[in-house]
Structure 1
Amino acid sequence: MFDKKLIVVGLPMIAVTYGLSRFSYGLMLPYINETMEMAPSTSGVISSLSYIAYCIAIVLAMVFSNRIAPKSILVLAGFSSIIGLGIIAVSGNPGVLGLGILLAGLSTGFSSPPYADIIDKNVEIKLQNQTNSWINSGTSIGTALTGAIAIIMTDNWRETYLIFMVIAMVVLFANYKVLPKNQTLKENVKAGFSKEEWRRSIPLILSSLLLGISCSAYWTFSRDFMLQNESVPVYLGEWLWVLIGIAGLLGGTAGAFINKFGLMPAYRISVVALSTSSLLLGTFTDDIMIGFLSPVLFGSSYIFMTGVLIVWGISVFKFSPSFGLGIPFLILALGQAIGSIFSGVIADLSSYNVVFVGASIIGYIALLFKRT
């Protein structure tokens, strides 16, 4: 039964760290820009800080996974989220905003690997893929929640981030009470990884990098693009994040799908759907049905894809679940940092349409890779 308790607290923590602390920036960007009047290139650089912070934190979480108990790392994730969200709320210029985004971004890197270790120690093997997938789907809950709150709060983005901070406090307290006490750390974990494991991880690393670059434009600029496009109804732009989040719940089925049909079929389906969502956004924005289909495809396929990467990574690095989850997520975030910067520059030089079409092409290239 502990798998259910773990999902009950783990899913909200991922919702806070990923949805509220990290991806909410793209949602709130139109309102923040009304206050700070940033160029797309500046917005892209600030967005990249979240991904860079994620990379730093997830490396630290993996390195210290055998020295610091998972629960302690998760508490650190909660505090970095709370502090970062508070700074964002009071920021008066891009520099302070960037600091808040950076600190909030640390929480995402600290939050994912510990759950993989806790699941490995406390959940029976046949339920581990599904438990990992459902906790990972917390991103979609957080995304939908940020979208709904933003609609209610309209352009009061500072107050919105204060609400996010309070939610983060509640979720941190729940995790502290429910998660198992700091368990004995593994003493027999291998000091390193074999050449065979690293060789088998190459397709996973390249896939994660390309998919990170591909999806970064959608997370950062999709809502701003929809709200600026006069041919798209305003309500569609306003509800975009909610659509993405609700659709993301479908991604929680990744573990069950993999158990029944295999890892590679799940991977290919998620990559095709994810890449197609960007292609549709960049080429068919005048069609209302396509306008709805694109975020639904993106939300469901992104969560599904990250669930696939978790299972793929753990299957490669079997002796360290936190490392198996951390490597693909680290490279995914690195790709997102690179993609955010280049997407902003390309948007300055050309248009959002070019950005999204280019992002889809990069995503389709990831289909060339498979597990070895």
Structure 2
Amino acid sequence: MNGKKLIAVGLPMIAVTYGLSRFSYGLMLPYINETLNMEPSVSGFISSLSYIAYCLAIIFAMVCSNKISPKSILIIAGLSSIIGLSIIAVSPNAAVLGLGIFLAGLSTGFSSPPYADIVSREVEMKLQNQTNSWINSGTSIGTAFTGAVAVYMADSWRETYFIFALIAVLVLIVNYKALPQNSITEKKVAASFSGKEWIRSVQLIFASLLIGISCSAYWTFSRDFMINLENVPPYLKEWFWVIIGAAGLLGGTAGVYINRFGLVNAYRISVLVLSTSSLFLGISPGNNILGFLSPVLFGSSYIFMTGVLIVWGISVFRITPAFGLGVPFLLLAFGQAAGAIISGQIAGVSGYYTLFVSASIVGYLTLVFKPKIN
């Protein structure tokens, strides 16, 4: 299976599991709140359930990568996405909504590590960074799609989630038919837990954790913040999520950029841009230029950043690519889970302006880390 074909089936699956199943909650939150009337702290807690589910699922995907074939894990990802999205669509209260968000969130953790394994087996070495980065950019496609659907179905969030569930069914069928039925090979998983590799991964772990804390505020509350500001242009309120997703396509170039300019350069640029996007939102969201630049910078840099983390992680955990992707993504999600809860509390006490400025400061702190390909 060549890289282009793998991108063609993997990108839509990531679009479904990340864009539709996970990050759509922040987009749909204003409309869900009109029906369920949740406090910011409750909204933040429910958002954290998605990240907690992601953590649990990605641990499962990594640990079981030598026992269950990548294709089987991806089937589980598709099923959890379908079930979770369906429950969200019919949720009568916050408790049921939380269950749906949790189950849908599982799909993200199940979906990423298997593709890293398949890429390492099926794609030639020089094209692996680009292939992983483009599959990862599916998040931006899913985000843009959810934003576009929400513009035209703003008063029908339940129907929107039913549509998402149907799309998830179609994508699962395509992956089931197209992906190779890899046999399960015994891997030296224990080698991934060697002291030497874990020492090399310390900066990766802390960087992933802090980046997750920093960007969780944006994913959870940015659109809810913008849509309730009176001085923000209507087009920006409606198309905010679409702008994030469309800009995310630029993040698919991470692998190419790293190959040409180096991992350190790519990491620092992505941190600066990602943090600045939150700063712009906190200091002047009503400014037409800054208000537009913020989602453009966030969407492009977030996808780019996750591409950087993939390359950094796989360079540390060379024997098991699933761990190389799973470890930084696990810590990223753990930071997002904690950050979503903290963000809800800060938003409730000090307001959104303070929240986004604080998030940018946490992001800038991660510039102290220096990734390298070992």
TM-score normalised to the size of structure 1?
A: 0.99
Whether 1:76 aligns to 2:73 is no
The answer for the alignment partner of 2:284 in structure 1 is: 284
**Unmatched segments (≥5 aa) in structure 2:** none
Task: In structure 1, give the amino acid aligned to 2:294.
Answer: S
**Which residue of 2 is the match for residue 174 of structure 1?**
174
Kept in 1, the 8 Å contact 2:192–2:319? The answer is no
Q: Matched residue of 2:23: which SS?
A: helix
For the aligned residue pairs, the C-alpha RMSD in angstroms reads 0.9
Q: Partner residue of 2:298?
A: 298
Distance in 1, Cα, partners of 2:234 & 2:40: 21
Matched residue, 1:371 = 371
Cα distance in 1 for partners of 2:361, 2:189 equals: 40
What is the rounded CA distance, in whole Å, between the counterparts of 2:50 and 2:190 in structure 1? Answer: 31
Task: Specify whether residues 217 and 187 from structure 1 end up closer, same or farther in structure 2 by C-alpha distance, changes over 3 A only.
Answer: closer
Cα drift, residue 186 of structure 1: 3.4
1:152 corresponds in structure 2 to: 152
Q: CA deviation at 1:187?
A: 4.4
Aligned to 2:67: 67
For residues 187 and 343 of structure 1, the distance between their equivalents in structure 2, rounded to whole angstroms, comes to: 40
**Could you say what secondary structure the match of 1:197 adopts?**
helix
- Where 1:180 maps in the other structure, the secondary structure is coil
Q: 1:181 Cα deviation (Å)?
A: 1.2
Q: Which amino acid aligns with 1:329?
A: F
Structure 1 residue identity aligned to 2:368: L
The correspondence of residues 1-372 of structure 1 with structure 2, limited to 5 A, is 2-371=2-371
* Displacement of 1:192: 4.6
TM-score under structure 2 normalisation?
Answer: 0.98
3-state DSSP of counterpart to 1:22: coil
Deviations 1:241-282 (A, max 9, x none): 100000000000000000001101000000000000000000
Q: 1:285: how far off?
A: 1.3
- What amino acid maps onto 1:351 in structure 2? G
1:191: how far off? 4.9
**SS of the residue aligned with 2:186?**
coil
What is the SS of the residue equivalent to 1:239?
Answer: helix
Q: CA deviation at 1:324?
A: 0.5
CA distance in 1, matches of 2:14, 2:272: 25
CA contact (8 A) 2:49 2:337 kept: yes
AA aligned opposite 1:41 = S
Post-superposition shift, 1:189? 4.9
Q: Secondary structure at the match of 1:290?
A: helix
Q: Equivalents in 2 of 1:192, 1:311: separation in Å?
A: 16
How far did residue 89 of structure 1 move?
0.1
Superimposed CA distance per residue, residues 109-167 of structure 1 (whole angstroms, 9 cap, x where no aligned partner)? 00000000000000000000000000000000000000001111122000000000000
User: How far off is 1:183 after superposition?
Assistant: 2.5
1:119 and 1:128 in contact (8 A); partners too: yes
Worse overlay, 311-320 or 179-188: 179-188
Displacement of 1:184 in angstroms is 3.6
For residues 173-222 of structure 1, give each alpha carbon's deviation from its aligned partner in whole angstroms, at most 9, with x where no partner exists: 00001100132423455455221110110000000000000000000000
Please list every run of 5 or more consecutive structure 1 residues that lacks an aligned counterpart in the other structure. none
